[in-house]
């Protein structure tokens, strides 16, 4: 989140929660009118509140002028922090507690692009006396945070080192490549890694092994060092400038979208699987309760009590496309069939050399 102008990250997140909710609603609907309807308030109320928020922070949160509603990079960064704050607030206690009486919060780790608001609201409804905390994780610490005791459960992106963990597969997301709006690949509905081997991939190639392997044999230009990037918003800004491309889950591309880039499905990159993970030897009643919520068990279900030992043991996180809707997960899109490529539109014979 930007700190200049507008103060420190802590100050930026500590703004009026109502306005943060307005920001999240507009980002979800990409339309002020539909966001206002979902919030059950008048559209001018939402517009005025977000203008006040921009003035308070000293940054523009929305692209202006624009034919459609889009977040600026500063807006994207604030949105990610705002979602954590909103999830935490949804779990606030109905009555204040003294520090001496307050129990330790049940802590959830979430990877970028994963939405957990449905499950955190259910937790608040069922366990109003049990505080819950949501923290952001990344590729480096989504598992280590469990082993270190920082989080009780973690919404992870597979694959992970599963030693000592139990996991439940939730849903799969389509991988997409983020490219400039004028990129030759936009002539297609979707692309393959062969279409991208000469692009400058703005991430560690090991995070996209299909691209890494194809580039090892098919790349015709030397790979350059990665430029300095702090956040995904930084990487997308470099994409917009024509510096390179990134291949990410669709929810991450959507969260960091801006008007000068677009994204396309990559048909031969593995889907991104999201799973819930926890330590197999530390399956507490609270973890069992949260597992039940994620699995869609009702509050009256007998399985809201601790799961039998066979369920609590380490299990592999298989793709759960068939269960994705039932689990209430964060909207992973299905990969279209490769035949959906548009044969009628002739793409340039070679797109190599753009990197």
- Per-residue pLDDT reduced to its tens digit, 205-232: 998 999 999 999 999 999 999 998 888 8
User: So what's the pLDDT on residue 91?
Assistant: 63
User: So what's the pLDDT on residue 170?
Assistant: 94
Using CA atoms, how far apart are residues 323 and 330, in angstroms rounded to an integer?
12
Using CA atoms, how far apart are residues 317 and 172, in angstroms rounded to an integer?
11
Tokens of residue 34, six digits: 């539909």
User: So what's the pLDDT on residue 66?
Assistant: 77
User: So what's the pLDDT on residue 97?
Assistant: 53
Q: CB neighbours of 281 closer than 8 A, spacing ≥ 6?
A: 164
User: So what's the pLDDT on residue 212?
Assistant: 95
User: So what's the pLDDT on residue 273?
Assistant: 93
DSSP secondary structure string, 78-90? HHHHHHHHHHHHH
Q: For residue 62, what is the DSSP state? A: B
User: So what's the pLDDT on residue 15?
Assistant: 46
Query: Is the separation of the CB atoms in 327 and 320 below 8 Å?
Result: yes
CA angle, 241 as apex, 235 and 246 as ends, to 5°?
Answer: 35
User: So what's the pLDDT on residue 28?
Assistant: 87
In this prediction the pTM is: 0.58
User: So what's the pLDDT on residue 186?
Assistant: 92
User: So what's the pLDDT on residue 92?
Assistant: 55
225: burial class by Cβ within 10 Å (0-12, 13-18, 19+)?
Answer: exposed
Query: Is the separation of the CB atoms in 182 and 223 below 8 Å?
Result: no
Between the alpha carbon of residue 1 and those of residues 12, 251, 344, the distances in Å are 8, 19, 43
- Spans in the chain with pLDDT lower than 50: 1-15, 93-95, 302-355
Q: How many CB atoms lie within 10 A of CB 316?
A: 9
pLDDT tens-place string over residues 113-134: 888 888 998 998 898 888 888 8
Using CA atoms, how far apart are residues 314 and 310, in angstroms rounded to an integer?
9
Element (DSSP H or E) covering residue 120: helix 117-126
Q: Give the β-pairing of 246-249 and 153-157.
A: unpaired
């Amino acid at each position: 989140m930007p700190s200049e102008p507008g103060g420190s990250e802590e100050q930026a997140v500590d703004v009026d929660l109502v306005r943060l909710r307005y920001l999240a609603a507009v980002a979800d609907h990409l339309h002020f009118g539909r966001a206002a309807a979902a919030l059950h308030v008048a559209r001018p109320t939402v517009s005025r509140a977000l203008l006040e928020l921009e003035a308070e922070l000293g940054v523009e949160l929305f692209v202006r002028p624009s034919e459609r509603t889009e977040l600026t990079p500063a807006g994207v960064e604030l949105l990610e922090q705002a979602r954590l704050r909103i999830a935490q607030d949804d779990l606030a206690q109905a009555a204040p507690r003294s520090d001496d009486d307050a129990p330790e919060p049940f802590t959830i780790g979430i990877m970028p692009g994963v939405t957990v608001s449905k499950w955190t609201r259910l937790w608040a409804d069922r366990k109003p006396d049990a505080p819950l905390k949501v923290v952001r994780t990344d590729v480096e610490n989504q598992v280590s945070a469990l082993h270190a005791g920082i989080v009780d459960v973690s919404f992870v992106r597979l694959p992970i080192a599963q030693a000592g963990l139990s996991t439940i597969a939730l849903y799969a997301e389509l991988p997409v490549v983020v490219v400039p709006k004028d990129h030759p690949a936009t002539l297609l509905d979707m692309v393959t890694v062969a279409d991208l081997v000469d692009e400058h991939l703005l991430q560690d190639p090991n995070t996209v092994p299909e691209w890494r392997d194809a580039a090892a044999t098919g790349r015709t230009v030397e790979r350059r060092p990665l430029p300095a990037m702090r956040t995904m918003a930084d990487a997308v800004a470099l994409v917009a400038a024509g510096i390179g491309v990134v291949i990410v889950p669709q929810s991450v591309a959507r969260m960091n979208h801006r008007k000068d880039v677009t994204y396309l499905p990559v048909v031969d990159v593995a889907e991104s699987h999201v799973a819930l993970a926890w330590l197999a030897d530390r399956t507490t009643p609270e973890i069992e309760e949260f597992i039940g919520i994620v699995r869609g068990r009702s509050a009256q279900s007998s399985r809201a009590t601790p799961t039998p030992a066979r369920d609590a043991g380490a299990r592999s996180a298989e793709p759960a496309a068939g269960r994705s809707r039932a689990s209430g997960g964060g909207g992973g899109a299905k990969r279209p069939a490769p035949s959906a490529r548009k044969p009628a539109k002739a793409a340039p014979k070679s797109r190599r050399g753009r990197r």
